[in-house]
Structure 1
Amino acid sequence: LLELTVVRKLYGRPLETLLATFGASLLLMQAVRSAFGAQNVEVANPDWMSGGITVLAGLVLPFNRIAILLFGSFVLLLVWVLLSRTRLGLWVRAVTQNRQRAAGLGVAAPRIDLLAFALGSGIAGLGGCALSQIGNVGPELGQGFIVDSFMVVVLGGVGQLAGTITAAAGLGLANKALEPVAGAVLAKIVVLVFIILFIQRRPQGLFALRGRAADD
């Protein structure tokens, strides 16, 4: 419904799309808060996700975070297979690279837009399920990751799965490496300054688009 009524009218205008979807997320959070209340709900972890692996003195890898990492890798693999090995993925890539030409060849671009939006929403839902294992569930679940998500997209490059993976892993490792030395807030600032300096040199990110899509 959101794609049909709001997002579809904003294709080709990324800034307006970003603002519209962010505003829609605020409305949805308020609707959930009004319907179910603002109090967070705790989700109990299974017994096999309790505890962790002691790597070094003072360094423990919790089982629940390892499970989330494996689950995210599995979902990522499924997305890669879908985009690179199926007809739907071919259509999505065609519409992304050259919308007019894909439509001229018989691809139903509006339908592909709807399916791609639904796929992204489903992946976001799976991400919410994963986050429920390391925090309480509430209307604002995941809101703290919005800025990090924007930084990953900017650094990795829009529409680049490999760039997203590389940027997410790099930013996560950089934050955790800097936190013991500089603190959580200063570490985030240092990473943000690095991204600003980096995109001044490479505006399209780590993995830039190639071909007609880049020319457009």
Structure 2
Amino acid sequence: MQRIAVLDYGMGNLHSVASALQKVAPADQVILATSPAEAEGADRLLVPGVGAIRDCMAGFTEAGFEPLLRGAIDAGLPVLGICVGMQIMMRRSEENAGVDCLGLFPQPVQFFGNDLKSDGERLKVPHMGWNQVWQRRDHPLWNGIADGSRFYFVHSYYVPAEGNESLAGETEYGVSLAAAVARENVFATQFHPEKSADAGLQLLKNFVAWDGRA
């Protein structure tokens, strides 16, 4: 049995993530960790997040999760980020007049804008709903998931796909954006796998089985 720690820093309802993990890994222990001590000994970490980036960064650092996360990455433990949990791993976000993030990836997080269009039609922001995701590199977390599968998104800020060397999955919503990024033992998604039906559950199942090597 392995221990999977979902980091709870006060941003978002984490029970759907924990329930989805328990569904794909019924023999494993899923922990909602509110402190580094509660995550001690975990075999893999999941970093979720819903809300404004300033509050998320404040909650994450005040909970003491930054050294925990960096230590886990250095130790080679598999790490999965979801939604704002992906965005806090970037260099900096435009949200809240500009917020420095963890810098695990060098890319910025940008606002879609108030005049986002596709084929001449104005698009709603936030981007909310199902979109196809195109796999841009082979990765164990894509195992068993067809290229172009649809995943569920809810966000107003995005990581650009263009020139992104960490790009693992791409989608289009007025612009080309990173649906997923990867480096070494870290994989992160802008979409919510726990809300993405069979494809999302397969990704979580792949994460549970992943040894942290791409």
Question: Smaller-chain TM-score range?
Answer: under 0.3
Q: Which has the larger radius of gyration?
A: 1
Q: Choose between structure 1 and 2: higher helix proportion.
A: 1
Normalised TM-score (structure 2): 0.24
The structure whose residues are more often strand, as a share, is 2
* TM-score for both structures, normalised by structure 1: 0.24
